């Protein structure tokens, strides 16, 4: 096996699309954490947070990414 498929230093082989996907996933995590904190502080029942985490968080991150970076094709 070569170093590109297995082994150390795989980070340098990530493509630009991979970086965007990783950034999107990490952004979703942080929006979910801070969104949950905000919603709990506003008195929302914890069982409703699942819907926020599954549906609202990815939509917010996607729309925010389009708004900040522009929609590229």
- pLDDT beyond 60 at 73: no
Predicted confidence (pLDDT) per residue in 8-23, tens digit? 556 666 676 788 888 9
> 0.75 cut: is pTM over it?
no
Looking at the chain, list the stretches that DSSP marks H as alpha helix, in order from N- to C-terminal side: 16-41, 49-51, 57-69
What is the domain partition of the chain in residue ranges? 23-69
Predicted confidence (pLDDT) per residue in 24-57, tens digit? 999 999 999 999 999 999 998 888 889 899 999 9
Average pLDDT for residues 51-64, to the nearest whole number?
Answer: 92
Residues 44 and 65: their CA atoms lie apart, in Å, by: 27
Residues 66 and 59: their CA atoms lie apart, in Å, by: 11
């Amino acid at each position: 096996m070569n170093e590109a498929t297995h082994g150390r230093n795989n980070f340098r082989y990530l493509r630009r699309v991979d970086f965007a996907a990783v950034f999107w996933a990490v952004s979703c995590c942080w929006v979910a954490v801070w969104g949950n904190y905000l919603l709990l502080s506003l008195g929302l029942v914890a069982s409703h947070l699942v819907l926020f985490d599954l549906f609202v968080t990815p939509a917010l991150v996607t729309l925010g990414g389009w708004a900040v970076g522009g929609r590229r094709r």
